[in-house]
Amino acid sequence: GSSKKAEPAPGLAWFGSSKKVEAPGDDLPETPRGPRPWKAAAVGGGSWGNTVAMLIAQNTAELKDWDDEVKMQIFDEIVLTEADMYGIRELTSGSSNGTITLPEGGFGTKLSEIINTDHENVKYLPGVKLPEHLKAEPDMEAAISDADVVVIGVPDQFIVPTCAKMKPFLKPSARLILLAKGIEFVNDKLLPVTEVVAHELGFPSAQICCLMGANIAKEVAFGQFSESTLGCRNSDDLRWLEPIVSRPFFRIGTVRNVEGPQMCGALKNVVAIGKGIIDGMGMSSNTIAALMRIGMKEMQGFIL
């Protein structure tokens, strides 16, 4: 029987079978950077997005060519703090029938207020002290309109709507560093998420970079030794951006390519799931080693 052809993912019908992804290399057009001091910003205040924004803020404070302040655009959730919970308990304990009357405005504090006042993301990075010059900003325009580098830290499924919100406010010369791990399968082709970002924003592919690795956000945030790979199409951008994401405990490898790091970043999770299954079955270290070798070989096949 005939097999049904895979439908394009929502928002990706533009990617036709004849489209070609630009080959990496320094022959791609170089978009001039803005004047110094350069500004960095981030979009997405989840655990990994906030962690990378924190690393960048630590670096901008030390690098003379960069503005200290880093703005992080977040969805401004209402969070119940310890003070809020104490107030609720007090009201409840004073009620004779179990019902309470909420104070005007209710309970809860905006996450942006907590981050900017207490310098802690209590929702996604509890216990991690954030730099005072890392500012949470709910408004997209205020967060990114003057940024020379923007880190996109939202999950893969939110990339398209997030790009739509960013597009009116980005500098044409801005470089973007993508953190999302994922691969789109459109019209029988594997599509790296950097290409989705480039299309949605109308940016040259050369301006979209990626930061990929096997990291647990909170471990990086607490300064445990980790490493990741920064992929850019232009060597100059690699030399420019590596210092703002690298820390003594967070080492950065660089590669003049974005497809390879993204494929590895996504496909490693398949191997990791297999490793967990083998562990659960109580199989030997030899079996785990075989899985890792075969898995890496198959990953190489996707990339090459």
What amino acid positions are annotated as catalytic residues?
268
Q: Is 38 marked within a binding site?
A: no
Q: Is 265 marked within a binding site?
A: no
Q: What is d(CA 243, CA 258) in angstroms, rounded to the nearest whole number?
A: 18
Q: What is d(CA 164, CA 184) in angstroms, rounded to the nearest whole number?
A: 18
Q: Is 3 marked within a binding site?
A: no
**136, 148 in Cβ contact below 8 A?**
no
Phi, then psi, of 81 in degrees rounded to 5: -85, 175
Would you call 151 exposed, middle or buried from its count of C-beta atoms within 10 A (0-12, 13-18, 19+)? Answer: buried
Q: Is 266 marked within a binding site?
A: no
At 140 the three-state DSSP class reads: helix
| Alpha-carbon dihedral 21, 27, 32, 33, rounded to 10 degrees | 70
Cα dist. 240→38, 60, 117 in Å?
Answer: 11, 13, 31
Q: Is 302 marked within a binding site?
A: no
Q: Is 213 marked within a binding site?
A: no
Q: Is 47 marked within a binding site?
A: yes
Q: What's the distance, Cα to Cα, between the start and end of the chain in Å?
A: 31
Q: Is 274 marked within a binding site?
A: no
State both tokens at 17. 């079978």
Q: Which residues are annotated as a binding site for NAD(+)?
A: 44-49, 75, 158, 217
Q: Which residues are annotated as a binding site?
A: 44-49, 75, 158, 217
